[in-house]
Amino acid sequence: MKDSLTALSKDALFSLRDLAPIVVVIAVFQIFVIKQPVDGILSLVFGGLLVVAGLACFIFGLRIALFPIGEGLAHALAKKGSAFWLFTFSFVLGFGTTIAEPSLLAVANEAARVAVDAGVIEDTDEAIAGYALGLRLVVALSVGVALLLGVLRIITNWSLPLMIIAGYVLVIIVTTMAPPEIVGVAYDSGGVTTSTVTVPLVTALGVGLAGSLKGRNPMTDGFGLIAFASLTPILFVLLYGIATQWI
């Protein structure tokens, strides 16, 4: 009990440290450059504390629940050697963790709000929730596919730079066909998928897999999964934009 309390307060400190540079930069600009009173500063501070408390609980929970069971499974499946279950697991891991990713939730809601203001979707709670959920499902699907591809690459030892470059070229080609209002959201969703939840589990999967295959270096072959997970969302959201145009 005491141990978990110290662990929880440590996570709170880490979240505070995450927020600290933002607070410092904004404070310096407010005091020395803008020099104007800030409206509603109390609610800003209160919200900031909620962010820190929420992030601390979230990461603490991940550490005692999601990471042990996820890492154990990644190692056990890599050792088991069944390609089918390994692929299924990679896909499901990418999909499931992305649906629960906090920054994706935040950006999807913002994107829905902007779409309402621009008149792309109706201003009803249903339409907003539907748009945000649709975006999240597409991104989650794409991260699932990314991990599947990444694991396939580790097993077959295909060249990472070649695959990534091919992906970039494809993104540029698809961009020219996509409706302009989806392009910004699509590019942003690539950076959104790879934060708190996905990275540690994905790294465990990659390094565990490369470690249990002969002739692979867990350090060099284990990296690169994140790169796939930040590329496929762009492609999938662009395609989603093209597809919804026709419906």
Site for another protein in 128-167 (CB under 8 A): 160-161, 164-165
170 binds another protein (CB under 8 A): no
242 binds another protein (CB under 8 A): no
Residue 22's φ and ψ, nearest 5 degrees, are -65, -45
Binders of another protein among residues 74 to 133 (CB under 8 A) are 76-77, 80, 85, 89, 92-93, 95-97, 99-100, 102-103, 105-107, 110-111, 114-115, 117-118, 120
213 binds another protein (CB under 8 A): no
Among 128, 151, 154, 229, binds another protein (CB under 8 A): 229
Among 78, 141, 149, 190, binds another protein (CB under 8 A): 190
49 binds another protein (CB under 8 A): yes
38 binds another protein (CB under 8 A): yes
- Decide if 52 contacts 12 (C-beta within 8 A): yes
Question: Helices 180-192 and 102-117 meet at what angle, rounded to 10?
Answer: 170
237 binds another protein (CB under 8 A): no
Among 83, 123, 130, 224, binds another protein (CB under 8 A): 224
Q: How far apart are the first and last CA of the chain?
A: 55
